[in-house]
Each structure stands twice: as structure tokens, then as C-alpha cells.
């Protein structure tokens, strides 16, 4: 059964040991973030878990972070699939979107605060890089709508609490949310905006998909859920939001109103810069009874943000290559979990059909996304195992022949320090494609034949040697031995 809301999902995670409750009282001004940082900085990915802080100083309700993106296991649980089915699940949803339905009432509006009561200090908004950040901020789903077409968009845009009644939204110039807001403010009208805090997990995950304009994340969320998402109309702005969400913040952005945003800890691992960003005036806060507050852990990678963005966008690359560019020879794509979605390193597995095919596919990915590095390997390499990728690069890749550098690609990201000059200006960046597919048949692998290796496993066990699960790397190699 799909999860009805965030509570259902948290219960499932807890049952599977993927969520830990912290009973001791913690301070949201520093302790929540520092504990989350230890989880991501110290624990190996397969030992991470979501954090459920039961008692937060000065607040009645709990604060949760890391639950959606502790590890691939948590994302798989949110999608009701196995870890190695995440890409296939996302790809199927992209191919068969499912429209939402509008309902008359939703649990997210059990309690309604308007006017002066709509006060952000009601919420335990976390300070994420304590000691360095300017202010606490929301990291959750942001809903906007195009004035002319009516099309809605969901994205995650950091939102700084300026004072109890207003917030500054990090709507970067190229974002769909920014374009939507401008369709109102350019006409001299106030733009509606809403934050969705803790909804059905598929909505959170669909929000971080990098989709072309015109594709509605809520329809992908419906496809991931296997049922239409129920939406309810906001109380003070003309937007639809998920009916079973824990908390909704509604606001308006007036034309020309901006304020300084930042500095804040950024996903590239450094403190960011101060930018002028749109100011939102809060018009309502609605919530369920006893709401759960959620914020994604981001900043220094690896983090919840890098984990969910990387895992969800692997399916987007596959959709692009197979369905839009017709490259059926591509088997799989994975983005490393350490730099956040389409900005990091993508590894593509394929069966090249002609000389130069690997390079061509690598270049297609580099040219059509903001990814900085693309490595292409054969289908017999486990693209989620760095040691296997290293082996392919060592044994199948000649740097002079198999490297493509794409120069002067505009990377409009101030927060990536590698494309900044000494004065802090963004320079045209570059991209790297490495084709580590085999160019010739190098002959059989230097491993004993498969049946001999499998028989030797009996001897291994009989000798009382430590038990292990055969890694995919070894399976792929033994298959061909």
C-alpha cells in the first residue's frame, strides 16, 4: 500500500531500523544540525538513518531530518522498490505520469492561522550551519504557479526566516519557480507561493527531479505512488497543495520586494555569498494536529540533499538517453551521491555499437545537462562501485584517445568555487567526458571459471571463513569467467 502521508513512511522506516528516535531534548538552533552532520560525515552510507527528534527546546512537536535521504535504502523504501530498482521506478513514472485530484478538505488544514497568527516563530525552523549562517531557514517543497498558463511547479528553494511575518526565498535566476513568480510580478501583481513541510514521501522525491519546463512534478509523484495525489486549495493564496501534508506556509511576493539572502552553508562544501532575493510575506500557516516538522539536511556533502538529488536524477538521465535521444544501447546511469544531482559525476553503462559510440553518449549527457563529469563504461561494470569504475578506467581507458574536454561551458553557479575567479566572478566552466568502454576484445578475464569459483565457496564455508554477500562487481566478473 502506498504511504498516505509522512507519518506512514516514518513508521515504515522505523520498523526497518532506518529511523532513530532521539528522546533527549535538543536545541534546534545548533544541536539538530550538528547531530545530522555527524550522521552524514561519520557513518558509512549503508549505516545511516533518519533522525526523529522527539523533544525540541521551546516547541511541542518533533523535528525530523535525514529520513528521506539517509541512504539508497530509505529512498527505495519511499518508492516501494528495491535499491537496484530505483532508476527503473523513476523511469516508469516519467513515462506514465498520473494527474492529481483536487479534494474539498485536507488534513493539512486541520488548524489554520491567518494574519498576525501566521507567525513563523511557531515552527522549529532549524539553523543548519550554526555559528556561520545568517538565520534559520526552511528546506522543503516550494509551490509556485505560472500566471498565464496556470501550470504549477514544485522545487526546493532555501527560504530564510527574516522575521516572524516574512521570509527571503532563494529563487535562483534560472529556476522554474523564479520564472513562475515573474509571470505575476512583471505584471505588477503579487505572486502566490507556498511551502509544503512533510508530505507523502513521493512528493518530496519528485520535487528534486530536474525536469524540462512543462512537466509537472506532482504528476510524476502520482505515478510513483501508483495513485493520484490529492491536492487541496490554500486558504489565502490561489495554489493547490498536498492534502495530507503536515504543515503548509502560504505567502505572497510583491513586485520589486527583495532582501539580502545569506550567507549560508552551501552544498559545494563552503559558505556561500549574499544575494538579493524575493521577499515573501506570510499570509497563513495551516497544519495537522500535532504536526511533524521536517527539514532536509544539506550543506557540506554528503548529505540528504545530495543523496536524494543523485538517486532520483539517475532515472532522468536514462529517460533522456533512451526515450528522448533514442540511445537504446544505454543500460543504466548513476550519479555519485556526494555532490547533489545533476551537478556532480555521472557514470553511464552501455554496450557501444560502433567506434566512438561511448564518447558520443558521454558528450550527449554533458551537453544536455549541467553535469560536470561523465564517465562511460561497459555494461559489465557495476556503476555504483567506485572500485569497479577505477578498474575500468585503469584497464579500458587511454587518456589521450578517450578524453573529451568541453571548454567554456557556462556554469551559472556562483556556489561552485571551482568556476570562480580570484575576484569572485563566475567564469565559463568546462566539462569532462571519459570513455572507459572497451575498444578491443581484450580476451578472457584472469579469474578461474565460474563453476570452480562457486564450488570453492563450499570450501570457504566449510573452513569457517567469514560469511559475505557476493558483491555485484564479483558477480559480473565471474559471469564472464
Ligand X SMILES: Cc1cc2nc3c(=O)[nH]c(=O)nc-3n(C[C@H](O)[C@H](O)[C@H](O)COP(=O)(O)O)c2cc1C
Q: Which of 309, 369, 375, 437 binds ligand X (CB under 6 A)?
A: 309
Q: Which of residues 189-208 bind ligand X (CB under 6 A)?
A: 208
Residue least distant from ligand X (Cβ)? 155
Q: Are residues 473 and 385 in contact, defined by beta-carbon separation less than 8 angstroms?
A: yes
Which CB sits closer to ligand X, 158 or 359? 158
C-beta of 143: minimal distance to ligand X in Å? 11
For residue 296, state whether it binds ligand X (rule: CB under 6 A). yes
- Closer by beta carbon to ligand X, 200 or else 435: 200
Toward ligand X, which CB reaches closer, 7 or 179? 179
Among 92, 172, 426, 432, binds ligand X (CB under 6 A): 172
Q: What residues contact 338, with CB distance under 8 A and at least 6 apart?
A: 301, 302, 306, 310, 344
Taking CB under 6 A as the rule, which mask of x and - marks residues 334-363 in contact with ligand X?
A: ------------------------------
Sequence-distant (6+) residues with CB within 8 A of 387 are: 473
Does 170 bind ligand X (CB under 6 A)? Our answer is yes
Closest CB to ligand X among residues 236, 297:
297
> Which residue from 65, 176, 190, 310 is in contact with ligand X, where contact means CB under 6 A?
176
Instruction: Build a one-symbol-per-residue string for 415-444: x at contacts with ligand X by CB under 6 A, - elsewhere.
Output: ------------------------------
C-alpha 349/C-alpha 378 separation (Å) is 5
Instruction: Count Cβ neighbours within 10 Å for each residue of 157-166 and write b for 16 or more, e otherwise.
Output: bbbbbbeebb
Binding mask 143-162 for ligand X (x = CB under 6 A): ----------x-xxxx----
37 binds ligand X (CB under 6 A): no
Task: Give the strands of the sheet with 230-233, arranged side by side.
Answer: 101-102, 230-233, 240-242
For helices 86-95 and 217-225, the axis angle rounded to 10 degrees is: 120
Strand partners, 175: none
CB of 297 to ligand X, least distance (A): 8
Among 129, 305, 310, 369, binds ligand X (CB under 6 A): 305
Closest approach of ligand X to the CB of residue 309, in Å: 5
Minimum Å gap between C-beta 439 and ligand X is 36
**Collapsed DSSP state (helix, strand, coil) of residue 265:** strand
Give the nearest distance from C-beta 144 to ligand X in angstroms: 9
By CB under 6 A, the count of residues binding ligand X is: 18
SS3 280: strand
Is residue 278 near ligand X by the rule CB under 6 A?
no
Cβ proximity of 294 and 64 under 8 Å: yes
Q: Does 369 bind ligand X (CB under 6 A)?
A: no
Phi then psi for residue 214, to 5 deg, are 100, -15
Q: Nearer Cβ to ligand X, position 109 or 176?
A: 176
Please report how close the Cβ of residue 235 comes to ligand X at its closest, in angstroms: 24
Comparing CA positions, the residue from 215, 212, 199, 14 lying closest to residue 98 is 215
Examine residue 235 and tell whether it contacts ligand X (CB under 6 A). Answer: no
Per CB under 6 A, 175 contacts ligand X: yes
Q: What are the grid coordinates assigned to 257, written together?
A: 520586494
87 or 109: whose CB is closer to ligand X?
87
CA atoms of 211 and 337, how far apart (whole Å): 19
Cβ-based nearer residue to ligand X, 155 or 192: 155
Cα pseudo-dihedral 57, 109, 67, 167, rounded to 10? -60
CB of 480 to ligand X, least distance (A): 38
Nearer Cβ to ligand X (74/437) = 74
| Closest distance to ligand X from the beta carbon of 59 (Å) | 21
In order of 73, 211, 335, 466, the CA distances from 47 in angstroms are 10, 31, 20, 20
Q: Which is nearer to ligand X, 120 or 205 (CB)?
A: 205
Buried-state track 417-449, b at ≥16 Cβ within 10 A, e below 16: eebbeeeeeeeebebbbbbbbebeeeeeeeeee
C-alpha cell at 478: 565471474
| Burial of 400 (C-beta count, 10 Å sphere; 0-12/13-18/19+) | exposed
Binding residues vs ligand X (CB under 6 A)? 139, 153, 155-158, 170, 172, 175-177, 208, 210, 296, 298, 305, 308-309
Amino acid at each position: 500500500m502506498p504511504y498516505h502521508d509522512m507519518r506512514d513512511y516514518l513508521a515504515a522506516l522505523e520498523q526497518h531500523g532506518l529511523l532513530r528516535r532521539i528522546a533527549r531534548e535538543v536545541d534546534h538552533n545548533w544541536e539538530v544540525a550538528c547531530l545530522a552532520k555527524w550522521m552524514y560525515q561519520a557513518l558509512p552510507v549503508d549505516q545511516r538513518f533518519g533522525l526523529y527528534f522527539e523533544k525540541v527546546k521551546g516547541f511541542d512537536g518533533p523535528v525530523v531530518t535525514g529520513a528521506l535521504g539517509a541512504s539508497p535504502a530509505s529512498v527505495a523504501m519511499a518508492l516501494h522498490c528495491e535499491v537496484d530498482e530505483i532508476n527503473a521506478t523513476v523511469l516508469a513514472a516519467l513515462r506514465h505520469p498520473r494527474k492529481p485530484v483536487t479534494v474539498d478538505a485536507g488534513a493539512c488544514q486541520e488548524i489554520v492561522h491567518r494574519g498576525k497568527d501566521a507567525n513563523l516563530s511557531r515552527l522549529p525552523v532549524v539553523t543548519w550551519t550554526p555559528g556561520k549562517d545568517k538565520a534559520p531557514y526552511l528546506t522543503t517543497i516550494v509551490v509556485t504557479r505560472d500566471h498565464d498558463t496556470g501550470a504549477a511547479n514544485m522545487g526546493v528553494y532555501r527560504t530564510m526566516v527574516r522575521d516572524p511575518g516574512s521570509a527571503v526565498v532563494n529563487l535562483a535566476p534560472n529556476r522554474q519557480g523564479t520564472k513562475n513568480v515573474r509571470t505575476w510580478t512583471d505584471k505588477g501583481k503579487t505572486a502566490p507561493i507556498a511551502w509544503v513541510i512533510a508530505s507523502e514521501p513521493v512528493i518530496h522525491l519528485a520535487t528534486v527531479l530536474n525536469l524540462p519546463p512543462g512537466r509537472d512534478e506532482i504528476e510524476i509523484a502520482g505515478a510513483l505512488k501508483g495513485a493520484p495525489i490529492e491536492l487541496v486549495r490554500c486558504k489565502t493564496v490561489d495554489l493547490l497543495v498536498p492534502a495530507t501534508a503536515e504543515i503548509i506556509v502560504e505567502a505572497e511576493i510583491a513586485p520589486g520586494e527583495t532582501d539580502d539572502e545569506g550567507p549560508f552553508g552551501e552544498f559545494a562544501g563552503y559558505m556561500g555569498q549574499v544575494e538579493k532575493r524575493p521577499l515573501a510575506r506570510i499570509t497563513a500557516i495551516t497544519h495537522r494536529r500535532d504536526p511533524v516538522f521536517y527539514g532536509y539536511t544539506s550543506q557540506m556533502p554528503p548529505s540528504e540533499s545530495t543523496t536524494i538529488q543523485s538517486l532520483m536524477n539517475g532515472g532522468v538521465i536514462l529517460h533522456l538517453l533512451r526515450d528522448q535521444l533514442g540511445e537504446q544501447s544505454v543500460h543504466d546511469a548513476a550519479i555519485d551521491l556526494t555532490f547533489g544531482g545533476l551537478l556532480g559525476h555521472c557514470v553511464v553503462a552501455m554496450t557501444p555499437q560502433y567506434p566512438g559510440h561511448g564518447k558520443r553518449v558521454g558528450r550527449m549527457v554533458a551537453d544536455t545537462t549541467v553535469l560536470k563529469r561523465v564517465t562511460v563504461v561497459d555494461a559489465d561494470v557495476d556503476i555504483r562501485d567506485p572500485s569497479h569504475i577505477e578498474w575500468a578506467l585503469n584497464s579500458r581507458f587511454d587518456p589521450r584517445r578517450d578524453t573529451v574536454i568541453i571548454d567554456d561551458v557556462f556554469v551559472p553557479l556562483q556556489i561552485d568555487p571551482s568556476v570562480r575567479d580570484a575576484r569572485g566572478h563566475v567564469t565559463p566552466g568546462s566539462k569532462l567526458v571519459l570513455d572507459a568502454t572497451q575498444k578491443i576484445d581484450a580476451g578472457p578475464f584472469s579469474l578461474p571459471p565460474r563453476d570452480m569459483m562457486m564450488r570453492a565457496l563450499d570450501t570457504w564455508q566449510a573452513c569457517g571463513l567469514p560469511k559475505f554477500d557476493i558483491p555485484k562487481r564479483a558477480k559480473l566478473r565471474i559471469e564472464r569467467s
